[in-house]
């Protein structure tokens, strides 16, 4: 039985037809009792509608529309230059800093159109955190790195030590650094630095975290730790990850989107995309024939 058939079987209309609908006053009450659709409602963390992006005259993103579900790991795959990182960066408006970058279309987060004039970019970036390809800790102590975000957002001094501890624990780094919080962040290993950057992002309490190829500069062990961490983090956060590593996408993500030359070719459940690719290009890429 397909999902659609299932949905129809449990619909209010079907219930009325079968006579069970009389037990309920209206559709909402029915759906509430059955609990089928209610779970899916407002489940999207981000909605993207007809997004186009140009760098000067070059169109880097072409009419992309998709939804990013809440509390899932969503991975973006595709060959270099396909626009997946650019797309990721539209969601916290990091492309704003690039000259000649022009954007059309809508991105909606929390019922707010983030490219509208009223949007406070600072507040948006607080809600949509980002972890970069190469770990970029600030040249200060481990503690100060994590405390940086809360401090600039005016969190009271009393709360900061506990936020730092919580964030480092959530990033699975606390045990390794708790005795040397005052030492420079740059003295940490590459993998630890990347987890510190994750902790730094968690410290501002985001809802969504964007990962831009977070493991591409790391060894397999550090990569494993970060993947484990993401699976843990999706309980509380919505995660989007750009990755070049197909295995990584299959291991950690619930959903996958495949991009090619600025177009969204396909997006859906990871298992579906990898096991049963409908599109020739997708199949070619994931089986390593090009990319």
Partner 1 sequence: MTNRQIRDFKEKSMKSLFFIGGVGTIFVLILICLFLFTETLNFFKTYDFIEFVTGFEWKPGTNPAQYGLLPLLAGTLIVTGGAIILAVPIGILSAIYIAESSGPKTAEILKSSVEFLAGIPSVVLGFFGLIILVPAIQSAFDLTTGQTALTGSVILAIMALPTIISISEDAISAVPAPLKQGSFALGANRWQTIYKVIIPAAFSGISAAIILGIGRAVGETMAVMMVTGNMAIIPGSELFLSSVRTITATIALEMGETAKGTEHYYALFAVGAVLFILTLGINLVADAVKKKQRAGV
Contacts of partner 1 in 112-141 (CB under 8 A): 122-126, 129-130, 132, 134, 136-140
Here's the x/- map for partner 1, 153-172, by CB under 8 A: it reads as x-------------------
Q: Is there binding between residue 200 and partner 1 (CB under 8 A)?
A: yes
Q: Is there binding between residue 92 and partner 1 (CB under 8 A)?
A: yes
Provide, rounded to whole angstroms, the least separation between the CB of residue 38 and partner 1. Answer: 33
Beta bridge partners of 240: 74, 210
Q: Which of 53, 94, 181, 233 binds partner 1 (CB under 8 A)?
A: 94
In the bound state with partner 1, the residue whose beta carbon lies nearer, of 46 and 265, is 46
- Mark the segment that binds partner 1 (CB under 8 A) among 28-36, 48-56, 147-155, 245-253: 147-155
Decide if 165 contacts 140 (C-beta within 8 A).
Answer: no
In the bound state with partner 1, the residue whose beta carbon lies nearer, of 201 and 267, is 201
In the bound state with partner 1, the residue whose beta carbon lies nearer, of 194 and 270, is 194
- How many residues sit close enough to partner 1 to count as binding (CB under 8 A)? 27
Contacts of partner 1 in 42-71 (CB under 8 A): none
What gap in Å lies between CA 153 and CA 123, rounded to an integer? 9
Beta bridge partners of 103: 53
Provide, rounded to whole angstroms, the least separation between the CB of residue 231 and partner 1. Answer: 23
In the bound state with partner 1, the residue whose beta carbon lies nearer, of 34 and 103, is 103
Q: Which two tokens stand for residue 243?
A: 């990755």
Beta bridge partners of 209: 129, 239
Q: Which residues bind partner 1 (CB under 8 A)?
A: 92, 94, 97, 122-126, 129-130, 132, 134, 136-140, 148-149, 152-153, 184, 186, 197, 200-201, 204
């Amino acid at each position: 039985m397909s999902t659609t058939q299932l949905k129809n079987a449990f619909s209010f209309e079907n219930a009325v037809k079968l006579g069970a609908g009389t037990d309920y006053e209206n559709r909402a009450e029915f759906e509430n009792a059955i609990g089928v659709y209610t779970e899916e409602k407002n489940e999207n963390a981000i909605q993207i509608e007809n997004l186009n992006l140009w760098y000067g005259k070059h169109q880097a993103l072409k009419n992309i529309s998709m939804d990013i579900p809440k509390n899932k790991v969503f991975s973006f795959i595709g060959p270099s230059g396909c626009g997946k990182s650019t797309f990721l960066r539209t969601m916290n408006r990091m492309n704003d800093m690039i000259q000649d970058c022009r954007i059309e279309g809508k991105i909606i987060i929390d019922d707010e159109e983030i490219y509208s004039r009223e949007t406070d970019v600072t507040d948006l970036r607080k809600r949509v955190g980002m972890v970069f390809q190469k770990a970029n800790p600030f040249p200060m102590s481990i503690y100060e790195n994590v405390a940086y975000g809360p401090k600039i957002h005016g969190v009271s001094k009393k709360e900061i030590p506990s936020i730092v501890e919580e964030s480092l624990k959530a990033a699975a780094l606390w045990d390794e650094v708790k005795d040397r919080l005052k030492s420079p962040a740059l003295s940490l290993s590459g993998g630890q630095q990347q987890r510190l950057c994750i902790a730094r992002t968690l410290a501002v309490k985001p809802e969504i975290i964007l990962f831009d190829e977070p493991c591409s500069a790391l060894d397999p062990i550090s990569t494993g730790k970060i993947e484990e961490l993401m699976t843990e983090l999706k309980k509380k956060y919505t995660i989007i990850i750009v990755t070049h590593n197909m295995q990584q996408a299959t291991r950690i993500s619930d959903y996958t989107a495949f991009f090619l030359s600025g177009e969204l070719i396909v997006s859906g459940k990871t298992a579906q995309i990898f096991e049963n690719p409908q599109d020739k290009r997708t199949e070619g890429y994931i089986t390593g024939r090009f990319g």
